[in-house]
Structure 1
């Protein structure tokens, strides 16, 4: 259903599952395990896995905290998109990477729910992609000290509103890890 022509493939997008980003994040180990399961399933299905890493003044490129967590390892040939904005499409080769693979549907996982995951969801949707958020494969750190809701509420709210996104010619959805379809959409 994507509005992108000749782009029926699906890709698994793993956003910012980096040491410092998920250190102390809500349900960190369960979320990382769910992402690992999805990565393994995507590889078996020959579905592209695309990795995203954030860097900025607080999270320097190449630092220990910047690395993807040890439980997850990009395979040879899997693209890694380095970014410095919340939306993984901004000022990166992500769009071209997906176009080269004829991807029109993204299955999104990662961190942080209330920042880079949310920005990338919207960035993909407004660019014409069908976008599924994996309900139990995204997380965030506690930001209640700055007035944000507790992380479980942030995750629940994001899952709720993403399940009801709508736009002409595109679909949005929320699905549990066990129910994710990693095939393309015609």
Structure 2
């Protein structure tokens, strides 16, 4: 079965936000880079996806200059770079058509945010009939505030709140939700042999 690695939102926008200091996986570029190298060596398709919020005035607005891959990641010639405005990588892109044209049956998912864009992409891919491999240690996320938390708090206040969901809890919940239902959970080492 032909496989494709999808790298979701590993972009400079996230490093420009204050909560980057609490990211679960500061080594995301290295881990994704290892997956990319292995995928290319096998002849698998590598698809890069960037999140955009045009006109928002945020770090996700293309006008900000931050909607670009993090340093250390570079598409090879012919590797598609898609931009999305939805949480998953399918709804607002031509990803499904691209995968269909390439005869891809398996999707390897990596990127930022574990429980949001990555998990949502994995669920949609599974519903579309793809075999999904979710590489949790090649994803990253941030602590999530409680739904009733006041807006505009500092990162220190967010982290001090006992209602804040920590990154370890987020990652574990994502694996529980996906495993055996929507995806097979794998590690970078399992997929790269290193």
**TM-score normalised by L of structure 2:** 0.80
Aligned residues: 169
| SS state at 2:185 partner | strand
Give the distance between the partners of 1:55 and 1:158, measured in 2 at CA: 24
Residue segments in structure 1 that go unaligned for 5+ positions in a row:
1-7, 167-171
Residue segments in structure 2 that go unaligned for 5+ positions in a row:
150-162
Who wins on radius of gyration, i.e. which is larger?
Answer: 2
Task: Name which of 180, 187, 191 aligns with 1:164.
Answer: 180
Cα gap change, 1:11 to 1:148, in 2 (>3 Å) = farther
**TM-score normalised by L of structure 1:** 0.84
Aligned to 1:42: 39
Task: Name which of 26, 29, 44 aligns with 1:28.
Answer: 26
Aligned to 1:11: 4
Aligned to 2:184: 173
Q: Deviations over 1:62-84 (max 9, x none)?
A: 53321110111111100111100
CA RMSD of aligned residues (A): 1.9
The answer to whether the Cα contact below 8 Å between 1:9 and 1:102 also exists between their aligned partners in 2 is yes
Give the distance between the partners of 1:81 and 1:70, measured in 2 at CA: 18
Q: Deviations over 1:14-46 (max 9, x none)?
A: 0000012255122222x2211100101111111
Q: Which has the higher contact order (CA 8 A, sep 6+)?
A: 1
The answer to whether the Cα contact below 8 Å between 1:26 and 1:141 also exists between their aligned partners in 2 is yes
| SS state at 2:174 partner | helix
Alpha-carbon deviation of 1:148?
A: 4.8
